[in-house]
Amino acid sequence: MLISLGLDLIRINLPFANRIFLRVLSPVLKKNEDRWITGATYMLIATVVAFLVFEQNVAVVALLFLSVGDSMAALVGSRTPGPRIVRKSPGGTLAFIVGSLLVVLVLVGSGFIHYHWGLIAGALIAAGVELAPVHLDDNLTIPLLTGTFLHFLMM
């Protein structure tokens, strides 16, 4: 995490380093990542914080909601025509919920965690955080806010 954050800060402050970075990675970056911290760095920060602050099961669930749910939302949402809610497609939000519920199904089915109604609520909360018009990167907000809710819901 510290290496990734350090590299981001170096390239942001050194234009020649940023040009090299963008030449290689621009096809996979979001529009503002050319001049700010990448989503991957935010995810690493969220991972470290989640495992420091939450019980292991909560951290794993929250991070998997991000990894699976947000990826499904991006894949479906970017290909779904029609109305948008806060620049997000309802189909993408539905895909996020389905992906998160699949995470719950796999984790409970494999015996990694015991079923608790808070997992279903957590999936819905994670989708709501992804949909919320917050200026922070959702790679940071989804696992940390969802983990906080899961912590209190599943105590």
Instruction: Look up the pTM and report it.
Output: 0.85
Three-state helix/strand/coil letters over the chain: CHHHHHHHHHHHHCHHHHHHHHHHHHHHCCCCCCCCCCHHHHHHHHHHHHHHHCCHHHHHHHHHHHHHHHHHHHHHHCCCCCCCECCECHHHHHHHHHHHHHHHHHHHHCCCCCCCHHHHHHHHHHHHHHHCCCCCCHHHHHHHHHHHHHHHHCC
- pLDDT at residue 37 in the model: 78
**Domain locations in the chain?**
1-37, 40-153
Mean pLDDT computed over 127-145 = 91
> What's residue 28's pLDDT?
64
Q: State the pLDDT confidence band at 66, using cuts at 50, 70 and 90.
A: very high
Q: What is the reported pLDDT for 31?
A: 73
Encode pLDDT of 86-118 as tens digits: 778 888 999 999 999 999 999 999 999 999 999
**Residue 122 — very low, low, confident or very high, per pLDDT cuts 50/70/90?**
very high
